């Protein structure tokens, strides 16, 4: 299993456990969808925390998957599904907290930006990155709206998306990409406390306030998903130069095992 789901103190905890870099594959996506659905439906669940194992929160989507698609239909099917899962994540009704135990890049950072609050282990060596531009990729509609919403400013978009550089955690905090740096021993307890801070008030107004806050970004994401020309992704993931870049990155990751 590439993930774990636990419930502690009426809070769901989703741990990405897919060594060596906690990459996101179809199995992880299915797990994410299942726990988001539970959090939305089960009254007793207060919210959701995302974290990872080891030294990495998540490196993003599994490049092994991205370099082994068997034709256009498989590419389109994968992205139709992941877009719906990320839309569910972005519109989850209850508090969602990123408790980032390590580096976060690409899809891993998109998960974090979809959350309501992002805390990372207090380690100046940790970094965040959106590496897509370096690999020859753009962003899918839902990912783009999540990042636009999370980054908040055009300046941050240019720094994070257009440059594709690794950003140290203290700098990411100053930019507003992260909300808080937390000692490792306190990370999970502080994440649970943040869920409770948001949801444990009379009538749970957080739910309505979050829906208001994200309404227009969610509408844009929904429109983008429903009207997107998936052949753009087919062109990207059948492009020899893109595949070459992804394979080279995957080889470097494998060598670091």
Quick: pLDDT tens for 122-152.
999 999 999 999 999 999 999 999 999 999 9
Identify the pLDDT of residue 134: 94
Q: Where are the domains of the chain?
A: 3-185+195-199
Q: CB of 135 within 8 A of CB of 242? A: yes
Identify the pLDDT of residue 257: 53
CA distance 185 to 18: 22
Low-confidence ranges of the chain (pLDDT < 70): 255-257
Token pair for residue 40?
């939305």
User: What residue has token string 């060594």?
Assistant: 19
CATH, domain 3-185+195-199, list 3.30.565.10, 3.80.10.10, 3.40.50.300, 3.90.226.10: 3.90.226.10
CA distance from start to end of the chain: 19
Beta bridge partners of 117: 97
CA distance 189 to 60: 25
CA distance 116 to 198: 10
Torsion (CA) 128, 132, 133, 135 in degrees, nearest 10: 120
Identify the pLDDT of residue 252: 85
Q: pLDDT of 84-102, one tens digit each?
A: 999 999 999 999 999 999 9
CA distance 161 to 137: 11
Helix (H) or strand (E) holding 136: none
Q: What share of the chain is helix, strand, coil (3-state, %, to 5)?
A: 55, 20, 30
CA-based nearest residue to 55, from 135, 160, 130, 127:
127
The total of other beta-carbon atoms located within 10 Å of residue 257's CB is 7
């Amino acid at each position: 299993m590439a993930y774990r789901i636990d419930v502690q103190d009426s809070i769901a905890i989703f741990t990405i456990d897919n060594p060596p870099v906690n990459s996101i594959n179809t199995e992880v996506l299915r797990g994410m969808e299942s726990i988001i659905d539970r959090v939305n439906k089960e009254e007793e669940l207060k919210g959701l925390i995302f974290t990872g194992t080891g030294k990495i929160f998540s490196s993003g989507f599994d490049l092994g998957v991205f370099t082994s698609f068997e034709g256009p239909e498989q590419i389109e099917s994968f992205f139709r599904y992941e877009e719906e899962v990320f839309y569910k994540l972005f519109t989850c009704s209850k508090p969602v907290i990123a408790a980032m135990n390590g580096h976060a890049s690409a899809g891993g950072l998109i998960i974090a930006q979809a959350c309501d609050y992002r805390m990372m282990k207090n380690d100046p060596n940790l970094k965040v990155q959106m590496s897509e531009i370096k690999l020859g990729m753009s962003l899918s509609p839902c990912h783009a709206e999540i990042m636009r919403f999370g980054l908040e400013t055009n300046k941050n978009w240019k720094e994070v998306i257009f440059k594709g550089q690794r950003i140290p955690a203290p700098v990411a905090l100053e930019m507003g990409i992260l909300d808080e740096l937390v000692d490792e021993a306190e990370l999970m307890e502080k994440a649970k406390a943040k869920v409770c801070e948001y949801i444990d008030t009379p009538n749970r107004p957080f739910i309505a306030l979050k829906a208001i806050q994200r309404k227009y970004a969610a509408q844009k994401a929904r429109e983008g998903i429903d009207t997107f020309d998936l052949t753009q992704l087919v062109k990207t993931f059948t492009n020899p130069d893109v595949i070459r870049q992804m394979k080279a990155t995957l080889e470097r990751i494998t060598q670091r095992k």
